[in-house]
Structures are given as structure tokens and as C-alpha cells.
Structure 1
Amino acid sequence: MSRRAGQRIARGVWDLAGLDAIRVAVCQLSLDAAWHHIFFNSQLSKVQVGEVVFLVWRIWKGRCWSVHDHVQYLPPALHRQFRVQVEEWQDASSSQPREQTARRLPSVSHPSVSNPPGGLLLRFDGAFNRATGGSVGFVGYAEGSSLVCAYGKFYPGLNDPFLAELLALRDAMLWCVNHGYYNVCFCGDSQLVTRRATENEVHHESGGAILEEIRLLKSSFFFIKFVFAPRRTNRAAHLVAKTALASAARHSVDCRYLLFNPL
């Protein structure tokens, strides 16, 4: 299926579901979040849910296998077509050599990210739109990868990605202090923010005031660590930030419903 055809189908899904969050989830390839919105947050009938599932699956060719749990609600004609396409897709995938399908990326080593003993692993990210503003998002995991929090917030007029990342880290630190988490590993996908947060120097650059707040907040923690991680491992926080950007909510929004399947 061509990219343009997939976009047309996606627009049909958005019109049918009527939820901005589904649009954001599909655009970010976070299909688990899209399924969650469709099944638990929309007012669609079971037949409509089945049609939405079928259309979204047509876009990304079954990358999220939870689709099979809801195929029973498809109309008979769509159900047969779905089964045929699943079989064709599986046959085509299994016939391709593994060497051709694997992504050939340079080998880059990153420090392992884990929870401090009895503490929290908190992933943060920022997003921005030059026309409207920026947003922040952060997601907290306890030991065992259990979801603790997921919050997003919109900042109108913010159009600097560096400032968005800094605000995401600051808001995450404030949340931890206010909720009694003092052993925290903060993980973000901005090397500059990670480096600036680790240093104790005050920089007279864009975001200097926010960096000063971060430096002062660091003294509130018993254990604190800042770790850089690639974007692909930070998708949950990125999804929360994008959702806050789409909703333009100027107050903190609880986004745990987006992440019912943690990590």
C-alpha cells in the first residue's frame, strides 16, 4: 500500500473515531496507545471499533498484534479480507531474507538505564510547534517497569526545542519532589540537556534561568542521575509530549491512559 493511500485511510480513521489522541498515536507509530483510545476512550460501537482496527492495521500491516483480539467484531466481508491480508503479509515477511530486512545502523554503545535502588526511572521529552507553542511530557517507572506517572503540559508561545527539553526536565524534577521521590534517574534524548543538567556551572545562554532552577532542585534529591538515551527508547515520553501539544492543555494532564502497556 502506498504512503498516500495510507494517509487517506488514516484520515478516515480520524474522522470516524473523532479523537485527536488517536491521530497523535497513529502519527507517532505508537499503536498500543491508539488501540487503547479506540477501545476504552471512544463512544464507538463494536462494529465501528472493528472497522477502525481494520483501517489502522491496513496502514501499518499488523505491527500491533492486539488487533486480533477484536477481529470478531468485524463485518463478515471485512473479516474475510482481513484474514487474507494477514496471511499475505505473513508469507511476504517470512520469505524475505533476514539480512535484507534488518536495519543496518552503526553500532553505538549507550549506558544502561535502570532504576536506582528503591527509586524511580523517569523519562522526559519536549515537543514544539512554531505556530502554537511547545509542550513537555514525562513518564515515571518504578522497579519492575510498573507505570507510576505520565504527565504532559502545553506552554503557549514556546518554540525552542532546547527550552522545551529543559522545561520537561524541570517539571519532572518538581513532580518528584512534590510526590516524595528522592532517588531518581532522569532519562532524556537530548545530549545537551543531559550535559547541562549534570554540570554545576551556570550558563548565560537561552534557558539559563531554567538551568538555575534545575541546579537548585538537584539539592532536594538523595540520589539523582541524568542519562542520555536514544529517541527510540524514549517514545513513551515523546508520545505524552505530543499529546499535550495536540490538546493545548495549559495545566498538567494525566496521560497514564496512553501507556497501559508500559515500556
Structure 2
Amino acid sequence: MDGVFTVKSAYHLAVTLDRRRGRWKARADLMDRASWIRLWEANIPPKLKVFVWQIFNRILPTTEALLERRILVLPRCPVCWEGTESLEHLFLDCRVARELWGAADLEHIGEGLPRSSFPLFLKKVLALIHQPTLFLAVVAILWRISRSRNWVVFECKQYSVAALMRQFLQQYEEWVRLPVDTPGMAPVVPETDFPTQEGVPGLICGWDGATRRGSHSAGGVVLMGPNREIHMANGFQFPVIDDPLVVELLALREAVRWCLGQGLSCVQFEGDAKVVIDKIRRAEDRDGRVGTVLEEVLQYFDRTPGFSVRFIGRRVNRVAHLVARKALSLYPASSRYFDYQTWLNSRV
């Protein structure tokens, strides 16, 4: 969509910037795609996501960056006047930054990690953090340090560390109460007794397909409880199929077979392929290019009254999409014995 800054656009813009600067191969601190996805799906305000993106691309207007662009400025940190202001100095070595990290009781974050490159340091720190509130606290501290620096430069105002800490706590409390704009990935729980009573759809099965043009295709299914907690997951690989519609139907067929193999008779299937779902509801195109697979899926639904299907958006169905992409990446090795449950736990 026009005007929307997505994970894909942020990642590719970062790659383009580094290629233009001629240091694509030299940048060890560039975030990989998985890190970008984790950042963009974190429950933090959008301006903080863009702010972290600016840090990793070294486009914050520090005195070091301005001098590199041949802009005449005083080669001193405007806050402490104890050296040239670089990203490393601004967020780690500046007196105000050190005191603010200590006041927030976060000075232990990143102990033992190399600090010669702040983007690389931050990349490793964020990769080690698994608590959403701690993730937000670290980014909020960085935001507060940058804001205090801008106040000094543009407004000639300098606040005490105690005042900055009060502002940090107030803003952190506001941000931590923000509603989650996208459903997060629920932790995988051990297999329990499934609610399979007739007429009571207690289980949800998300499915999705993925294809690599001219190579192969795959599907992913995720079995969830009423609160969308993940019970099980599995992936399937298909022959070379370039038609996304057929791949989505095959993924749904395998999801239905998988649920029947688990002894389930009351499941609501959720997918982001609206065309496929419409065809199933209308029972149309039985003799078309997808007729054979569609006919088989319709027979499963006709024989099992407890099965239903509904459309959801891609962002809601992202867990099944991740499983499908993982099954696709395992080719040519078989994904049959891959432990998707352990892999999903590592992604939480």
C-alpha cells in the first residue's frame, strides 16, 4: 500500500542504502531479515521502529555523521563535550547516557558484548531479549537519550538525569499499555485433551501455502486452542506447482487430513486465501483446473459436519505462514521429521 512502511520495504531500503554507500560486504552490523521482522512485529510505537531503523542505517544526525557529509559543525558531543559524537558515544559513552542506563537499572544489558559498533551491539542485545517489556524499555531508553540530545542542540535546553528518568518512566507506562495491533505468536503448549464435542468448535486450524517459482511448494498448518494458544504445528512439501491457488488448496487438504489423523471432528479452519474459501463455500469449479483437489476437500467437509472454514487476514495468519515458509526452506530435505513445535518455541 502506498505510504505504508512495511518490514519488506524497510529491509530492502536498508540494503539499498548500504549498496549505494559501497560498503555492503563490510557491514557486519546490518540486521538480517528475521531481525527486521521481529522489530517490525514488536508491540512498540511505530516511531520507535523507525528510530531503530535509523540507528542501524547510521542516519541519525550525529556530529560524526555530519562531518562525514562535509557539514561544518563543532567536532564535539553537544551534551558532555568530551569527544566526537558518534552513535557509540551518544548511546554508550556519553555521561548522560551512562547515568540514564544506571538510573533505569539497565546498565547490565549487553555486558561482554563488543562496543566498537553500536548497531552491531544493539543487534545482539535485541536478539538476546525475549521479554516484550524489556525490549520496549531498551528502545525507550535509546529514544530518551536521543530526545535529550536534540533538546540541547535545537532548543538549548538540558535536563537533569532525574528529570529524564521521570519522563522515561511516564512514557514507558503509556507505551506498555498500548493495545497490541497484531496478534502475537502464542507460546506453544504441550499437547492436551482437545475439546472436540460435536457442534462446539473449540479448536482452530490455521493453514497457508508457499511456493518458490519453478522449484517447489509447501504448506503449513497450526492447531490452536480457543484463545489461539498453539498446540501443534506441521509442514508439508509438494511437487513443482506454480499455481498459488492449487498450492493453497493442497495446504488446506493436508490440514484437513492432518486433523482427521489426530481424531478431531470439530475444527474451524482459518486461511488468508479468500478465493479458495469462496470456492469451498460455493462448491464451484469442480471440473476446473483445481477441480480434483477441490472435490476432495469438499468431500472431507461434507463427511465431517463439525468442520468449518473462514477467511482471516495475512497478519492474523502469520504463524501458519511462517510454518509454510519454513517447510519451503527445508527442501530438498524432507520436512516430515522436522520438529516444528520446538522451532516455533524458539521464535517466541
TM-score norm. by structure 2 comes to 0.48
- Which whole-Å deviations, capped at 9, do the CAs of 1:104-146 have from their partners, x for residues lacking one? xxxxxxxxxxx97363101110010113111101111023322
- Which whole-Å deviations, capped at 9, do the CAs of 1:28-70 have from their partners, x for residues lacking one? x25799xxxxxxxxxxxxxxxxxxxxxxx958xxxxxxxx9x9
Are the equivalent residues in 2 in contact too, given 1:121–1:185 (CA < 8 A)? yes
Change (3 A) 1:31 1:254: farther
Asked if 1:77 is matched to 2:112, the reply is no
| Among candidates 269, 279, 289, match of residue 186 of structure 1 | 269
Shift of 1:170: 0.3
Amino acid at match of 1:3: A
Summarize the alignment of residues 132-147 of structure 1 with structure 2, pairs less than 5 Å apart: 132-147=215-230
Are the equivalent residues in 1 in contact too, given 2:207–2:255 (CA < 8 A)? yes
- Distance in 2, matches of 1:134 and 1:189, equals 17
| Among candidates 227, 231, 234, match of residue 317 of structure 2 | 234
- Which whole-Å deviations, capped at 9, do the CAs of 1:188-232 have from their partners, x for residues lacking one? 001111111223345222221111110111134241211111111
Amino acid at match of 2:221: F
Change (3 A) 1:91 1:72: closer
Shift of 1:237: 0.6
| Among candidates 194, 205, 208, match of residue 125 of structure 1 | 208
Q: Which residue of 2 aligns with 1:3?
A: 14
Shift of 1:176: 0.7
Q: Secondary structure at the match of 2:115?
A: helix
- Distance in 1, matches of 2:254 and 2:240, equals 17
Q: Secondary structure at the match of 2:308?
A: strand
RCO (CA 8 Å, sep 6+): is it higher in 1 or 2?
1
- Distance in 1, matches of 2:207 and 2:342, equals 17
- Distance in 2, matches of 1:127 and 1:199, equals 24
| Among candidates 213, 231, 237, match of residue 148 of structure 1 | 231
Asked if 1:224 is matched to 2:262, the reply is no
Summarize the alignment of residues 16-165 of structure 1 with structure 2, pairs less than 5 Å apart: 25-26=34-35, 29-30=37-38, 58=56, 71-72=109-110, 74-75=112-113, 77=115, 82=122, 86=139, 87-89=141-143, 117=200, 119-165=202-248
5+ residue gaps, structure 1: 15-22, 34-56, 60-67, 99-114
Q: Secondary structure at the match of 1:164?
A: helix
Asked if 1:205 is matched to 2:288, the reply is yes
Asked if 1:255 is matched to 2:340, the reply is yes
Identical positions, percent: 28
- Distance in 1, matches of 2:346 and 2:35, equals 16
Change (3 A) 1:162 1:202: closer
Are the equivalent residues in 2 in contact too, given 1:71–1:79 (CA < 8 A)? no
Amino acid at match of 1:257: T
Q: Secondary structure at the match of 1:134?
A: strand
Are the equivalent residues in 1 in contact too, given 2:272–2:313 (CA < 8 A)? yes
- Distance in 2, matches of 1:138 and 1:31, equals 24
Amino acid at match of 2:295: E
TM-score norm. by structure 1 comes to 0.62
- Distance in 2, matches of 1:121 and 1:25, equals 26
- Distance in 2, matches of 1:26 and 1:162, equals 30
Structure 1 stretch displaced more, 121-130 or 218-227:
218-227
**Higher CA-based Rg:** 2
5+ residue gaps, structure 2: 1-9, 42-54, 58-105, 126-137, 148-170, 176-195
- Distance in 2, matches of 1:58 and 1:25, equals 15
Amino acid at match of 2:263: G
- Distance in 2, matches of 1:143 and 1:78, equals 48
- Distance in 1, matches of 2:294 and 2:221, equals 18
Change (3 A) 1:181 1:12: farther
Asked if 1:174 is matched to 2:251, the reply is no
Shift of 1:26: 4.6
